[in-house]
Amino acid sequence: MTVRLAILALLLASGLHAADVWTWWVDECAGAALDSGCNKGDAELARWAFEAWQRESGNQIVFEKSPSALHARLTVHWATGASLYGETRPVEVDGREGAEIYVLPGANATGVSDPLLRDTIIFLTFVHETGHALGLRHTANFADIMYSFQYGGDIDAYFDRYRRLLNKRTDIALHSGLSEGDRAALRAVLYPK
């Protein structure tokens, strides 16, 4: 019996549920993708977003990098556009729910003079769109990562409050950006009644 099967057997015997594994793939920021405004380090921002959701789920959701885009439940694509930050489209991958996440790094982050603010915008976009992939919906609560700008609010203040948490780029990996409302919504997805 493999180690993974042994762990699964122990979890099931103890009444605990095995973690839901989401494989992911981020398109390379090269060639035509460079027109989107992506940077080579943006894939790291995506990884940190996945790790944030994993942490916040108490490891009930596990994110693993896929060896290829073909079988990844989450695929991140670089896109161009004028007014959106990102979009998530549900897909089926190998008989399981998955999503294609489109991030528009140049839409509102290109030309931002503060590199940490630019990375904040991209990271929070990854976190928000991954939330959709996991089944979370938009909210009207300005504190939530799942907040929709369709409700108005000060967009600069939305990103600035997160930016103020950062002294250096690697600090992004320490702060999920989730509110208590987001955590409650995640628990509802993980433990439906």
Place of tokens 């897909």: 91
- The token pair at 55 is 């942490």
- Residue 49 has a pLDDT of 98
Q: What is the pLDDT along the chain (193 residues), one digit of tens a residue?
A: 444 444 444 333 433 345 789 999 999 998 878 888 889 899 999 999 999 999 999 999 999 999 999 999 999 999 887 557 999 999 999 999 999 999 988 766 656 789 999 999 999 999 999 999 999 999 999 999 999 999 998 999 999 999 999 999 999 999 999 999 999 999 999 888 7
Q: Is residue 5 part of a domain?
A: no
Q: Is residue 4 part of a domain?
A: no
The domain that holds 147 is classified in CATH as: 3.40.390.10
Place of tokens 């990102």: 86
Q: Is residue 69 part of a domain?
A: yes
Q: Give the span between the Cα atoms of 163 and 72, in whole angstroms.
A: 30
Q: Is residue 35 part of a domain?
A: yes
Q: Is residue 32 part of a domain?
A: yes
- Residue 111 has a pLDDT of 64
Q: Give the span between the Cα atoms of 25 and 43, in whole angstroms.
A: 9
Helix (H) or strand (E) holding 89, with range, is: strand 86-93
Total domains present in the chain: 1
**Residue whose C-alpha is closest to residue 173's, from 53, 51, 54, 61:** 51
Q: Is residue 10 part of a domain?
A: no
- Residue 10 has a pLDDT of 39
Reported pTM: 0.87
**Residue whose C-alpha is closest to residue 24's, from 109, 114, 93, 122:** 93
What's the domain range around 92?
17-187
- Residue 136 has a pLDDT of 97
Burial class (CB in 10 A: 0-12, 13-18, 19+), 5: exposed
Q: Is residue 154 part of a domain?
A: yes
Q: Is residue 125 part of a domain?
A: yes
- Residue 6 has a pLDDT of 44
Written as one letter, the residue type at 129 is: E
- Residue 58 has a pLDDT of 95
